[in-house]
Structure formats: structure tokens, C-alpha cells
Amino acid sequence: MAERNLNQADPEIAKLIDEENVREHETMRLIASENYASRAVMEATGSCLTNKYSEGYAKRRYYEGQQVIDQVEELAITRLKKLFGATAAAGGEDDLHVNVQPYSGSPANLAVYLAFLQPGDVVMGLGLPAGGHLTHGHTVSITGKYFKSIPYGVRREDHRIDMDEVRKLAKEHRPKLLWAGTTAYPRTLDFEAFRSIADEVGAILAADIAHIAGLVAAGAHPSPIGIADVVTSTTHKTFRGPRGGMIFCKKAHAAAIDKAVFPGLQGGPHNHTTAAIAVAAREALEPSFKDYAHKVVENATILAAALVYHGFSVTTGGTDNHLMLLDLTNKGIAGKPAAQALDRAGIVANYNAVPFDPRKPFDPSGLRIGTPAVTSRGMGVPEMERLAAWIERVIANIGNEAEIAAVAAEVKTLCAKFPAPGLRI
């Protein structure tokens, strides 16, 4: 039978992919966890490596025929060790072990639990309402059901992590695992302070850098490598790779981490994803990646300041990284209808709880906005200032669909001047 392409084999899916391709071209994507992978990354993801099963690790596989796959995985690891080892506070590449097999960030985090804890052990992480992640011990997650979770929070007056509270709670509850990581927190994390607290109580320190991995790699955010016992991350977001996960740890923990990933949590790795991680790591070693990462932070800083100028309440007063959190209470609208209106205007963000939010999680008070994707398109200060004005215009005209459509047309025109990398034109 003659080989068929996607359009011939499944025109419905082909049409939907085409529609998403157009959407990603014509809208300003501000979801902090999204970005544009390069054409090279996507080619690796869609390669013949998806056909191969490879349970185990390089040179230690359970299936034959791994001559190429082993080289792919080893290349990904070597590049990541070079990239992130250069950011290490101590030890560099010499004391760094890397596992590139986790299917995503959440399984990478679960591997940390499996490697070091027993059910019922105490864990501490930033609470979800304060900007933490589900897998850091939230009650709706398996991590909050199988382990005793003690969340720490942020100060009410400035919405910053209260390290004094972290230390007090740690000394009181003696966690075996302490998380330093966030998903909706706009400020720099003090990994040294977390290390000090972990040492005081004898805890494993885990840093989750899923959101900031690209910034860490480029020196745009302090690195936990060499400070934390284990560091987990996704491989997309600011890192601009495929949808996957990775774990860095000190060599003393290598066996425990590898055993937790396989056979503890999963079977064969996704080799096409591993190849794409290797490609992304090579791209991140290029000087242009450092420029991009620092521009992400600059754009976020400018956008946050412009939104404050337009009367928005930005939690903590601004940002040090790639995202900001808006509390829309003073605008008289909740986050969900605001996000939906912005989406109709071609500005894609997500509604999000803010610290001490009186509203329910599925109908919160805030918006989370990030700059990685628009920065990857080459947008800069003028576009961030214009974007803030558009956001203010949409929020001020909720219900005025003609005005929202007018903004959408202007957004589309601007996006045409900044072609999205990796996509088909």
C-alpha cells in the first residue's frame, strides 16, 4: 500500500493542526509555561526514534538494537552537563549526574519522592495558593495524599516567600524533603537560604526549575546546581525544548534517582524526545540563547511596569524572572472572564489564583502572564508597552465585542511582523 501523508491519512487531524499553527502565528502567547520550539527540535520529536523501545540506560538496556539510541541519550546528557555544570556553585560537571528519561516535570518530581521517601514522610513546599506546584505536596496531588505535606507561604504584606516561616516550619516538622520551586512566583529564589534550612533539619533539598531552566542555563537566574541535592525540570518553557523532563543530582544520589525513574515509575524512555532535548541543549549552548534569556527577563520587567502604569495590581510590585501575576480585584473583574476576553482579542494568558485569594481556584482573582514566547518571536520593549495598553483596553471594554475584535486585528497585524520560530508559514 502506498504511504500516505497526514492530510491523506487523517484530514480531520491535519486540519486541526493547521488551525493551531495559524493560532500560534496570529496571537500573542503569554502563558508562562509555553514557548516556541525550533524547527530542529520539532523535527527530532517527529523522527523515526519514536519507533524504538529502550528500557534501561545507555549500555545497560533490556532490548537489543540500541547502538544509535545509546549515542542519542549520551549526547543529550553530555550537553546538559556542560550547559548546567557551568552554572554550578561548586563541583561543576564533575559532581553532576543527569537523567533525561522522565516523561515530563511531574514524573520527574515523583521520582524524587520515590528515591528518598517512604509513604507518610513529611515534605515541605510552597503552597499552591502562594505560587507553588501541585507536585510539591498539594492535597489534590498524589504527593499530598501519600506524604504528610507542610506548605509554606508568602508574606501578606509583600507576597514574597517568608524564609523565616520556612525555617520555623522546618524546625517544627522536620521534613525529609524540602522543595524550592514555584509555578506562579515572580521573584528570584534564594537557593542558598533553602540549603541552610535543609541542612539544619537534615532534609533533602530539591529545586524545581521547570519554569526557569532556560534562565538558569543562561545566567539570567541564580542556579541551584551544586547547592540542591537534586534539581528537576521540564525541558520546554524557557528552555525551548520538547515536552519532556530531566533530573540533575549529585553523583551520590545517581543510583537512587535512576532506579526511581526506571523501573520505579516508567518503562521505556521516549527516544524522540531525548533527541529533541539534545538539540535544545545544543541550541542553549549558543551565545544567542543567553541573549534571548536575558531579554525574556527584560521584557517581563518592562511589561510589569507598563501594567502598573495602566493601573493594574502586580503582585510583589513586579518581577525578577519571566512571569508576573496580576490581581484584577481593583479592576472589578475576575481572572477567568478577563482571560477569556483577552483570548478573543488574540492575547493568550491564563487565569490564576493570587496569594490570599478570596475567590475559588477555578474562578480566581488573577492572571498569570509570561514573556518567553513573545521574546522568542523577537519582540522587545515597544511591543511590551503596546501589549500592556492592549490588555488595559480589553479589560476596560469587557462585553464590547467590537472593541475586542479591533484589538485582535491589531494584534494579528503586529504578530505578522514577528514570525513565530519553528512554525510553518
pLDDT tens, residue by residue, 382-425? 999 999 999 999 999 999 999 999 999 999 999 999 999 999 87
Please state the φ and ψ torsions of residue 108, each to the nearest 5 degrees. Answer: -60, -40
Catalytic positions, please?
A: 53, 55, 208, 234, 237, 243
User: What pLDDT score does 329 carry?
Assistant: 97
User: What pLDDT score does 130 carry?
Assistant: 94
Query: Looking at the domain 295-416, which fold is it?
Result: Aspartate Aminotransferase, domain 1 (3.90.1150)
Model confidence at 2, in pLDDT bands (50, 70, 90)? Answer: confident
Average pLDDT over residues 239-249: 98
Distance between CA atoms of residues 185 and 308, nearest Å? 17
329: nearest Cα among 343, 308, 342, 312:
312
Model confidence at 135, in pLDDT bands (50, 70, 90)? Answer: very high
Q: Report the top-level CATH class of 48-284.
A: alpha beta
Residue 92, pLDDT > 70, answer no
Q: Please answer whether residues 53 and 41 qualify as being in contact, where contact means their C-beta atoms are separated by less than 8 angstroms.
A: no
Radius of gyration of the chain, Cα coordinates, nearest whole angstrom = 22
Residue-wise pLDDT for 246-300, tens only, equals 999 999 999 999 999 999 999 999 999 999 999 999 999 999 999 999 999 999 9
Residue extents of the structural domains in the chain: 48-284, 295-416
Report pTM. 0.96
Residue 150, pLDDT > 90, answer yes
Residue 89, pLDDT > 90, answer no
Residue 80, pLDDT > 90, answer yes
Q: Give the CA distances from residue 249 to residues 95, 102, 208, 253, in Å, rounded to whole numbers and listed in that order.
A: 8, 14, 12, 6
Q: Please answer whether residues 299 and 374 qualify as being in contact, where contact means their C-beta atoms are separated by less than 8 angstroms.
A: yes
Give the pairing of strands 122-126 and 366-370.
unpaired
Model confidence at 88, in pLDDT bands (50, 70, 90)? Answer: confident
Residue-wise pLDDT for 181-228, tens only, equals 999 999 999 999 999 999 999 999 999 999 999 999 999 999 999 999
Q: Please answer whether residues 316 and 160 qualify as being in contact, where contact means their C-beta atoms are separated by less than 8 angstroms.
A: yes
Sequence-distant (≥ 6) Cβ neighbours of residue 341 within 8 angstroms: 394, 395, 398, 404
Q: Degrees (nearest 5) of the Cα angle 319, 214, 289?
A: 110
Residue 10, pLDDT > 70, answer yes
Edge-to-edge strand ranges of the sheet holding 323-327: 313-314, 323-327, 366-370, 350-352
Average pLDDT over residues 350-366: 96
Its sign, for the CA torsion 6, 12, 16, 22, is positive
For residue 15, what is its C-alpha cell? 486540519
Q: Please answer whether residues 206 and 66 qualify as being in contact, where contact means their C-beta atoms are separated by less than 8 angstroms.
A: no
